[in-house]
Chain A
């Protein structure tokens, strides 16, 4: 009798934990995997790095990593982890996640992506970044108008981007003509 009850209890316990763990996992895994939109944006962001030439003084020496910073809450999740450590323009790529540009680590950034949650940060950071050789990208509406270099937008259900070459020029970054050709539009000052 006792044995039967313990078998029953054991079975119930196993079934219950499985059901609950599946429920919990399914929801957490779904949250961790970035949407296709942000996978595409992550891949585009990674691609941009190959089409941009930084001035020599942007790096202290040839062995220094290329730092890509995500400012604000990170929408890319594992999508950017896939390229962390890849070689870009002969340098190892390191992805940094920063709460805001005020963080001291931001001095190392060579490229910055401002996530939607960092919209206030953009307004007072961009003027300060203007003359530093740092690529600035965001999907915030009106990012170019505020002085940003590349802005993602969705057109016809696809991720496209707009470029403002003068902003890059001020920061002494050279954008390849290939990048400009693929842009949805090129905004001139």
Chain B
């Protein structure tokens, strides 16, 4: 008897469901444009890949991801990668001098910040010397950048070594998307001159190639009491070839660069010589159920300073595969091997012993992706299992969950463990009577808890919040002249980003980032200074605001400002900087633009210390010609 009402209820709900379904169908079928009555003139001016839509693949991802598109980079007026990164939430960028940068995510901002994985088209560019990035040597032709993805936090098993506090993934356009010629050049009071040139062609139906060159010459910063020595001049050139065939894609990339980055040295100045090159090959193939990738690269660089000369050769090969073995289950695995060999010539103060060293590293990843409810609820469980010559075997597991109750909301959470393996300096540095490396230096460890929420509140507004609590162990310290692992502590904070597009010609982006570190000395540690230095190395609060306007058919105006809180440990006061970019499309081929940066004061410090110079107000004009 009890079965009957239940059955009736089921039938009733089925009927209701059908009615409801047809109502939803009618509503969802509504199109954005009138297919029959929109003119060609209007159609070819509709932006079909707005930032919002473009970000769609990221919408359901269980990590704090932000994306900067090539278009946003062009309209920011940035000439180098770190300048472009200033627009992103949670990224702390400070210019030390005209050529040096400190770029960090969620703590530890300094020139030698480690714990970030930085990739340029799949090639890892953080160095083995201090596990950080020489930003003055790493750059790309920004006109050819498709997007920069930034992941705050450990990123999970998909990302390779050093992805502890974040991943910066720079992806350039394919050669197919950069056909024809481009010349862009200009100059101003601070930017003495820059020129970018690119030419792309298709030698056959399947192949496309581009070659490019970039030159930049930047003026010194400002110091009121000393002479500045931070001139910067760099040239790079390279190519990219892509072959696209059904289900298979091959890419070949090559680049070389050389330049000079000045800095103070023994009461005078010196020019640090930067040079290097790389060659990368990648093969991707897909079948109905699997996507595989094989990539190999060789990278060489030379850092030629009177304090230390480093030559390094790196060879890296990786095979990975994502395999959908059941309708809602995918398995991802990766196998990476890297060998790096160096020769470090000592300077008058610093020596690295042994002078030459070869290191091997093997990283494997395994990850299960389970769509519990397709497009609605997903679970990721994975781990990295690695071996390195410094600390042996390291395990880095993570678990992530994303819940998307409707197309407009995603909630996600993650718990992950990540390590930062020792760098060459921590093991082998010797500064007589001052600093001694430590062969027993352990990896720095992080246990990260993250929670986030993403919303597309209306078609015009998207919103994102991410928060984190970090539990950090074995952080680097210098105890009585010896490198150690005697700092531990917590970090917590979060980032909020809002994107508001009221009409296609007007866009607002804003973000707020907060980070707080609470570091402590281990009982057998002695380096209280380092605790303070690291604890307050980052701006506690940071705001970024950006407005983009298209007007009068062929004009663009971008105005932005950022507030950066003081760096207590470095005596750098808080500052607000404003910038603008005004561009006029003279014709479809030619664009002229004017860019102003750091408009609110004549000069200000963004970092302190012996190397730091002040950033000055800058104005430059640019011409961009495509054919």
- Residues on A close to B: CB < 8 A? 2, 5-6, 9-10, 13-14, 17-18, 21, 23, 25-27, 29-30, 32-37, 39-40, 42-44, 46-47, 51, 78-80, 82-83, 86, 119-120, 141-142, 145-146, 154, 156-161, 179, 182, 184
Can you list, as one digit per residue, whether each of B29-49 has a CB less than 8 Å from chain A (1) or not (0)? 101111110111101111111
Query: Would you call B35 and A10 a contact (CB within 8 A)?
Result: no
20 A-B residue pairings within 8 Å (CB atoms) = A2-B1, A6-B2, A10-B8, A13-B9, A13-B10, A14-B16, A21-B21, A23-B376, A25-B25, A29-B28, A36-B33, A37-B49, A39-B31, A39-B32, A44-B40, A44-B44, A79-B35, A83-B36, A157-B47, A182-B41
Bound complex: CA A21 to CA B17 (Å): 7
Bound complex: CA A17 to CA B47 (Å): 39
* Contact flag A35-B24 (CB < 8 Å), given A6-B6, A157-B48: no
Query: Would you call B49 and A78 a contact (CB within 8 A)?
Result: no
Q: Which residue of A lies closest to B375 (CB)?
A: A27
Query: Would you call A47 and B9 a contact (CB within 8 A)?
Result: no
- For A32, give its contact among B14, B29, B43, B373 (CB under 8 Å): B29
Whole-angstrom distance from the CB of A50 to the nearest CB of chain B? 9
- For B53, give its contact among A6, A36, A47, A161 (CB under 8 Å): A36
Query: Would you call A83 and B35 a contact (CB within 8 A)?
Result: yes
Count the A-B residue pairs with Cβ separation under 8 angstroms: how many?
A: 134
Tier of interface size on chain B: 35 or more
- Residues on B close to A: CB < 8 A? 1-2, 5-6, 8-10, 12-14, 16-17, 20-21, 24-25, 28-29, 31-36, 38-41, 43-50, 53, 71, 176, 202, 205, 244, 246, 373-376, 406-407
Q: Which residue of A lies closest to B45 (CB)?
A: A158
The interface residues of chain B lying within 8 Å CB-to-CB of A33 are 28-29, 31
Q: Which residue of B lies closest to A21 (CB)?
A: B17
The interface residues of chain B lying within 8 Å CB-to-CB of A35 are 48, 53
The interface residues of chain A lying within 8 Å CB-to-CB of B205 are 142, 145-146
- For A80, give its contact among B32, B35, B41, B49 (CB under 8 Å): B35
The interface residues of chain A lying within 8 Å CB-to-CB of B407 are 26, 30
Query: Would you call A47 and B13 a contact (CB within 8 A)?
Result: no
Query: Would you call B40 and A179 a contact (CB within 8 A)?
Result: yes
Query: Would you call B374 and A159 a contact (CB within 8 A)?
Result: no
- For B46, give its contact among A83, A159, A179 (CB under 8 Å): A159
- For B36, give its contact among A30, A86, A157 (CB under 8 Å): A86
Bound complex: CA A78 to CA B374 (Å): 24
Enumerate the 6 nearest inter-chain pairs by beta-carbon distance, A residue then B residue, closest first.
Answer: A10-B9, A29-B28, A37-B48, A82-B35, A6-B5, A17-B13
* Contact flag A5-B21 (CB < 8 Å), given A17-B14, A30-B28, A33-B29: no
Bound complex: CA A87 to CA B507 (Å): 39
Query: Would you call B375 and A141 a contact (CB within 8 A)?
Result: no
Most chain A beta-carbon neighbours within 10 Å: one of B2, B8, B35, B38: B35
Query: Would you call A159 and B35 a contact (CB within 8 A)?
Result: no
The interface residues of chain A lying within 8 Å CB-to-CB of B40 are 44, 47, 51, 179, 182
Whole-angstrom distance from the CB of B426 to the nearest CB of chain A? 46
Whole-angstrom distance from the CB of B553 to the nearest CB of chain A? 14
